[in-house]
């Protein structure tokens, strides 16, 4: 089985390269603007920390102090919770609804309840009734 190291990634004459180094997120180092928006949101960090503590209690991630080493663990929690496809809210209404939904996530994780779907932030129903 070939690994990334043994693959020949040089472009074939006339064809673009099938892979770029940025295609491999494991080895990439996202800049501040490329990070997922949940890592920049207060409640987003809170749910990622809570889920990471639940899934990986052996990993020590500081709650109030952020270090570049912690970003890798929090980014893996986004994948574990299947929130990678959640687009960043753009309008004020989307931001408020996303913040309320993230607050519900925090309450559900603290109480041990099931998590609501992130698509509920874009529905037309009142958010507190979901």
* CA 75/CA 77 separation, integer angstroms: 5
Residue 22 counted as domain residue: no
Of the candidates 117, 128, 122, 111, the one whose C-alpha atom is nearest the C-alpha of residue 50 is 111
Predicted local distance difference test score (pLDDT) of residue 92: 92
Average pLDDT over residues 7-36: 58
pTM of the model: 0.62
Weakest mean pLDDT among 25-29, 34-38, 63-67, 89-93: 25-29
Residue 38 counted as domain residue: yes
- The 10 Å CB-count burial string (b at 16+, else e) for 12-46 is eeeeeeeeeeeeeeeeeeeeeeeebebbebebbbb
pLDDT at 79 over 80: yes
Q: Which domain holds residue 120?
A: 31-129
| Token reading at 17 | 């390269």
User: Is residue 36 a contact partner of residue 74, using CB atoms and an 8 Å limit?
Assistant: no
Number of domains present in the structure of the chain: 1
Residue 93 counted as domain residue: yes
Residue 40 counted as domain residue: yes
Average pLDDT over residues 28-55: 79
């Amino acid at each position: 089985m070939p690994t990334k190291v043994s693959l020949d990634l040089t472009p074939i004459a006339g064809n673009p390269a099938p892979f770029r180094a940025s295609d491999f997120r494991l080895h990439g180092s996202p800049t501040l603007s490329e990070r997922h928006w949940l890592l920049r949101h207060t409640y987003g960090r809170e749910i990622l920390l809570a889920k990471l503590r639940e899934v990986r209690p052996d990993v020590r991630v500081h709650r109030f102090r952020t270090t570049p080493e912690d970003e890798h663990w929090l980014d893996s929690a986004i994948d574990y919770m299947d929130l990678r496809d959640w687009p960043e809210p753009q309008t004020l209404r989307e931001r408020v609804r996303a913040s309320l939904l993230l607050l519900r996530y925090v309450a559900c994780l603290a109480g041990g309840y099931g998590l609501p779907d992130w698509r509920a932030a874009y529905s037309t129903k009142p958010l507190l009734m979901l």
